[in-house]
């Protein structure tokens, strides 16, 4: 299928009548995912959104339930979001991160109804990256600027138009409904060429890293890695695969709600016990946890690396700590 760029705004506006449409929008000086009513608001020329796509299914802050308590007992109201949603223009790294997060929010015993209900009601239109940023290394991370895994529809920008491919049944059905024209053989060839040739190679090689890290918990390598880290947690908040959260109460005497908020292992309070004991008392233990979780523990648990190479942690770290370098240094260790 083919979508001419000058048709995009109309298509989105139309879709927004029926669905909640979320697209990248240029707002307050950054590109961020936002609900739109008018398709012209969508901004599809961006290297990557500041905050990752995970926020659509797993918001930075969300109410889990509210309650009222009185002499009769307790009434609870869970606020599970049921809206049929279309996310238009998510980069492949962020789409892949959702595939990874699915593992977390649905384990063999428990289902996170908030994330999973949104997930089931959301159709994702992925958008390939013609010009990956200097900090991107998705090609090294089982992902890539044109990786289609997780997208329902996939768009390739060929200049004046997007070549649109229906990946899932859900995506194919929506494309059919939009009544688009077919891409010509030339347009398809151009899209294929872009998909095959565009790389975001950050020179990162993680082959064997999981196994190597497995034996490195006590290694002196960790002693210096964290030294300039400020513990600000920008790297973890802005990481599309980081999923840690806190649960807090907001309440008056009889009415209240429980809210969950993103949290991060880079904070010392994250693991502080009531007794005062802290199993991760210093920056060393926390940076080790961050790296180990992504490249060893997650692999052990879900058989996938918890990094998609989006580069946000590199771009946004105030002291330029570079995870690519950390991985290269680990590789170079005997």
Binding stretches for other proteins (CB under 8 A): 64-65, 67, 69, 73-74, 76, 78, 80, 104-105, 107, 109-113, 116-117, 217, 242-249, 251-253, 256, 258, 263, 265, 270-275, 277, 279-280, 285, 289, 292-293, 296-298, 300-301
Helix (H) or strand (E) holding 313: helix 312-316
Tell me the C-alpha distance between 228 and 250, whole Å: 35
Q: How far is the CB of 273 from ligand FAD (least distance, A)?
A: 6
The encoded tokens of residue 37 equal 């009513």
Decide whether 105 or 287 has the Cβ nearer to other proteins. Answer: 105
The encoded tokens of residue 238 equal 């802005």
Contact mark string toward ligand FAD, 227..266, x via CB under 6 A: ----------------------------------------
Count of CB atoms within 10 A of residue 100's CB?
22
DSSP state, residue 139: G
47 in contact with ligand FAD (CB under 6 A): no
Contact 144, 318 (CB under 8 A): no
Q: How far is the CB of 211 from ligand FAD (least distance, A)?
A: 31
Contact 236, 60 (CB under 8 A): no
Binds ligand SF4 (CB under 6 A): choice among 240, 260, 263, 292: 240
Q: How far is the CB of 275 from ligand FAD (least distance, A)?
A: 7
Pick from ligand FAD, ligand SF4, other proteins, none: which does 53 bind, CB < 5 to 8 A by kind?
A: none
232 in contact with ligand SF4 (CB under 6 A): yes
Helix (H) or strand (E) holding 122: strand 122-127
Which residues are bridge partners to 3 per DSSP?
Answer: 162
299 in contact with ligand SF4 (CB under 6 A): no
Contact 194, 156 (CB under 8 A): yes
Q: CA nearest 151: which of 184, 178, 129?
A: 129
Q: How far is the CB of 312 from ligand SF4 (least distance, A)?
A: 4
Site stretch for ligand FAD (CB under 6 A), options 41-49, 65-73, 172-180, 267-275: 267-275
């Amino acid at each position: 299928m083919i979508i001419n760029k000058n048709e995009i705004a109309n298509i989105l506006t139309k879709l927004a009548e029926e669905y909640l449409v979320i697209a990248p929008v240029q707002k307050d000086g950054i590109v961020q995912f936002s609900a739109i009513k008018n398709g012209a608001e969508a901004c599809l020329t961006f290297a990557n959104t500041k905050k990752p796509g995970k926020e659509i299914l797993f918001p930075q802050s969300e109410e889990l339930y509210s309650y009222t308590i009185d002499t009769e007992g307790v009434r609870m109201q869970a606020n599970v979001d049921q809206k049929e949603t279309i996310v238009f223009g998510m980069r492949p790294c962020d789409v892949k991160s959702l595939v990874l997060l699915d593992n977390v929010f649905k384990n063999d015993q428990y289902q996170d109804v908030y994330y999973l209900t949104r997930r089931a009601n959301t159709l994702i239109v992925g958008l390939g990256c013609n010009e990956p940023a200097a900090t991107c290394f998705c090609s090294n991370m089982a992902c890539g600027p044109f990786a289609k895994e997780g997208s329902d529809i996939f768009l390739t920008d060929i200049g004046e138009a997007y070549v649109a491919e229906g990946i899932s049944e859900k995506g194919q059905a929506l494309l059919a409904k939009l009544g688009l024209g077919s891409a010509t053989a030339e347009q398809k060839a151009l899209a294929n060429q872009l998909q095959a040739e565009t790389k975001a190679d950050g020179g990162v090689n993680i082959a064997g890293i999981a196994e190597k890290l497995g034996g490195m918990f006590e290694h002196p390598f960790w002693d210096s890695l964290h030294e300039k880290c400020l513990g600000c947690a920008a790297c973890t908040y802005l990481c599309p695969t980081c999923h840690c959260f806190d649960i807090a109460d907001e309440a008056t005497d009889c009415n209240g709600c429980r809210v969950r908020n993103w949290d991060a292992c880079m904070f010392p309070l994250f693991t502080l016990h009531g007794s005062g004991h802290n199993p991760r008392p210093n920056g060393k233990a926390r940076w080790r946890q961050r790296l180990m979780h992504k490249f060893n523990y997650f692999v052990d648990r879900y058989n996938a690396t918890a990094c998609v190479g989006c580069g946000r942690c590199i771009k946004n770290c105030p002291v330029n700590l570079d995870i690519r370098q950390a991985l290269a240094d680990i590789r170079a260790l005997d």
